[in-house]
């Protein structure tokens, strides 16, 4: 396999789809949950149930997408066609989900979020598998993905900047920067237009890459990888705990900022600053991981987040300390950088391990299982956050809640994530495929591929 690095132009074009894909990832689904809670007939318990229902649908759709991604054979490769299908499906989905009528209820939200995550599945699984085929190198994979993550964060920045721009003196289309129904329609329209265009550009300009040799996935044995690949098991536990905490945190933090801390009109500004901090942090995390193993950097970042996140207890109802909240939020946002940067790169290292030990070529299979667990636990975390608020009686529509209700709100977005992040960090520190071991894996895979090429050449010449 060639180890030629992608040019800066190819890196840029590979990263550009991250801009509209930001419409499919946190914090946008948390914003949509809060938006439906405040502006439609949907309820907190109903939204939580809808998120869980959407993951049940994912249980059906993820395996076929992974299987098709591994087994499709076209002149454009096996990954690109399915990425484009997902991009095109985003067009009607965004139109439906971002512009609900006032009487839209729990069923409307459930349909929207189910289609929303189907789009994410069709794009996310083959795109992540494609990364590992663009380079076999431990550090180069992080470099490629760091460009994509920066574009993803800039897409989130665009989402936050749109309300500020459209309510500014320069372009006073709206009176407020809140995510009101008219504002949300504009946000959805921008994502709707950008998704197919930028993904098409990427698919045309970036090479297919090279897959590991080996047996492709089958639908019957789809979940066998969970039984035979121990590094995959380790990662799923460590990542799964952090994904669960991430889902709880992001589901409730927007509600807390708007209805408890009293920053509803400054949510876009707050999230814009958080995203800027993450953009600035990604190159630093990528550089640090050149000297310290990726999983170690990631683990200690979660440990720091677990401890420092408890500082949110210091701020009370209708807080006047907006910039103090911003400062703490910026630190926490930076510490979330490794969670965005390293899992995909580490997963492709695990794909190499699986190819060596089990003689397979099933990156799509593995990423679909990984994506399924990721989305289920994010959504379960979202549900836990909303169910916790409902259990303690917190109502975002009230001007003031009881002390017990406020306590439940804080348990949801401060305590539960801190515990999950702490346990996740301990698990991630035991991950077995470090830089040295991956280097040995790649040498053996390359040696195997060279022998196979020689045997094929001899057979053809005989």
d(CA 417, CA 393): 20
For the stretch 12-40, pLDDT in tens is: 999 999 999 999 986 687 788 889 988 99
The average pLDDT across 99-112 equals: 94
For the stretch 267-322, pLDDT in tens is: 878 878 888 899 999 999 999 999 999 999 999 999 999 999 999 888 888 777 88
Can you give the pLDDT at residue 415?
A: 94
Whose tokens are 């379960």? That residue is 380
Beta bridge partners of 215: 360
d(CA 402, CA 12): 50
Q: Is the pLDDT of residue 376 over 80?
A: no
The average pLDDT across 324-345 equals: 93
Q: Is the pLDDT of residue 462 over 70?
A: no
Cβ(6)–Cβ(14) below 8 Å: yes
More confident residue, 298 or 257: 298
Token pair recorded at residue 398: 């009230």
Q: How many CA atoms lie within 13 A of 183 on its CB side?
A: 24
N-to-C CA span, the chain: 25
Cβ(420)–Cβ(244) below 8 Å: yes
Length of the chain: 462
Q: Using the 8-state DSSP alphabet, how is residue 291 labeled?
A: T
Dmax (CA) of the chain? 84
The average pLDDT across 362-376 equals: 84
Beta bridge partners of 360: 215
2 pLDDT tier (thresholds 50, 70, 90): very low
Q: Using the 8-state DSSP alphabet, how is residue 212 labeled?
A: P
The average pLDDT across 378-393 equals: 86
d(CA 308, CA 313): 10
Range from 22-31, 77-86, 348-357, 416-425 carrying the lowest mean pLDDT: 22-31
- Nearest alpha carbon to residue 370 among 121, 133, 27: 121
The average pLDDT across 374-378 equals: 78
For the stretch 396-436, pLDDT in tens is: 878 888 989 999 999 998 999 999 999 999 999 999 999 99
For the stretch 206-221, pLDDT in tens is: 998 888 888 777 777 7
The average pLDDT across 251-268 equals: 82
More confident residue, 349 or 6: 349
Can you give the pLDDT at residue 381?
A: 86
Q: Is the pLDDT of residue 1 over 60?
A: no
> How many C-beta atoms lie closer than 10 Å to residue 105's C-beta?
16
d(CA 378, CA 375): 5
d(CA 291, CA 138): 12
Helices (H), 398-434: 403-410, 416-428
Question: Phi then psi for 360, rounded to 5 degrees?
Answer: -120, 165
Cβ(188)–Cβ(24) below 8 Å: no
d(CA 93, CA 111): 10
Cβ(123)–Cβ(91) below 8 Å: no
Beta strands in 225-358 (DSSP E): none
The average pLDDT across 29-55 equals: 86
Contacts of 421 (CB under 8 A, 6+ apart): 241, 242, 245, 302, 303, 305, 306, 309
From residue 220, how far is each of 8, 166, 211, 224, 229 by CA, in Å? Answer: 41, 51, 22, 9, 17
The average pLDDT across 233-241 equals: 95
The average pLDDT across 342-346 equals: 94
From residue 236, how far is each of 153, 169, 416, 428 by CA, in Å? Answer: 24, 48, 19, 10
The average pLDDT across 187-199 equals: 95
Whose tokens are 């993820």? That residue is 62
The average pLDDT across 132-159 equals: 91
Contacts of 372 (CB under 8 A, 6+ apart): 58, 59, 62, 63
Can you give the pLDDT at residue 4?
A: 64
Question: Phi then psi for 215, rounded to 5 degrees?
Answer: -75, 135
Q: Domains in the chain, ordered, with CATH?
A: 11-212+221-452 (1.20.1250.20)
d(CA 428, CA 232): 11
Beta strands in 8-141 (DSSP E): none
Give the rounded distance of the alpha carbon of 340 from its chain centre: 7
Cβ(251)–Cβ(30) below 8 Å: yes
The average pLDDT across 367-391 equals: 84
Can you give the pLDDT at residue 81?
A: 95
Indicate the average pLDDT of the chain: 89
Contacts of 280 (CB under 8 A, 6+ apart): 334
Can you give the pLDDT at residue 443?
A: 93
Cβ(193)–Cβ(8) below 8 Å: no
Contacts of 437 (CB under 8 A, 6+ apart): none
Cα dihedral 14→15→17→19 (10° resolution)? -170
Give this prediction's pTM: 0.82
């Amino acid at each position: 396999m060639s180890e030629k690095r992608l040019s800066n132009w190819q890196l840029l074009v590979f990263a550009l789809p991250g801009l509209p894909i930001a419409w499919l990832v946190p914090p946008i689904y948390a914003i949509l949950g809060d938006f439906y809670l405040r502006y439609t007939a949907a309820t907190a318990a109903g939204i939580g149930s809808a998120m869980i229902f959407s993951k049940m649908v994912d249980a059906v759709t993820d395996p076929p997408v992974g299987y098709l991604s591994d087994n499709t054979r076209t002149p454009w490769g096996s990954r690109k066609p399915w990425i484009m299908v997902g991009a095109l499906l985003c067009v009607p989905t965004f139109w439906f989900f971002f512009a609900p009528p006032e009487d839209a209820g729990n069923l409307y939200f459930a349909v929207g979020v189910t289609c929303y995550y189907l789009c994410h599945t069709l794009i996310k699984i083959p795109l992540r598998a494609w990364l590992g085929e663009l380079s076999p190198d431990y550090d180069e994979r992080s470099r490629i993905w760091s460009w994509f993550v920066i574009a993803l964060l800039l897409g989130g920045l665009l989402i936050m900047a749109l309300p500020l721009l459209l309510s500014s003196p320069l372009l006073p289309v709206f009176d407020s920067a809140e995510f009101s129904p008219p504002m949300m329609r504009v946000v959805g329209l921008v994502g709707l237009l950008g998704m197919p265009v930028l993904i098409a550009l990427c698919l045309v300009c970036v090479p297919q890459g090279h897959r590991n040799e080996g047996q492709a996935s089958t639908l019957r044995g789809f979940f066998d990888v969970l039984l035979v690949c121990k590094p995959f098991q380790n990662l799923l536990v460590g990542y799964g705990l952090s994904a669960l905490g991430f889902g709880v945190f992001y589901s409730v933090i927007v509600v807390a900022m708007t209805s408890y801390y009293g920053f509803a009109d400054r949510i876009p500004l707050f999230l814009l600053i958080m995203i800027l901090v993450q953009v600035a942090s990604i190159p630093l995390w990528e550089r640090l991981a050149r000297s310290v193993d990726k999983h170690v950097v990631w683990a200690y970042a979660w440990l720091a987040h677990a401890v420092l996140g408890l500082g949110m207890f210091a701020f009370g109802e209708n807080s006047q300390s907006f910039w103090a909240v911003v400062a703490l939020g910026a630190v926490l946002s930076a510490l979330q950088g490794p969670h965005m940067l390293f899992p995909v790169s580490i997963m492709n290292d695990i794909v190499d391990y699986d190819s060596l030990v089990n003689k397979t070529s099933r990156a799509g299979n593995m990423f679909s299982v990984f994506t399924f667990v990721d989305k289920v636990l994010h959504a379960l975390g979202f549900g836990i956050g909303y169910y916790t608020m409902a259990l303690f009686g917190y109502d975002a529509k009230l001007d003031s809640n009881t002390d017990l209700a406020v306590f439940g709100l804080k348990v949801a977005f401060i305590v539960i994530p801190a515990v999950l992040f702490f346990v996740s960090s301990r698990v991630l520190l035991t991950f077995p495929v470090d830089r040295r071991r991956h280097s040995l894996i790649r040498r053996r895979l390359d040696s195997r591929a060279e022998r196979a090429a020689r045997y094929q050449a001899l057979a053809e010449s005989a």
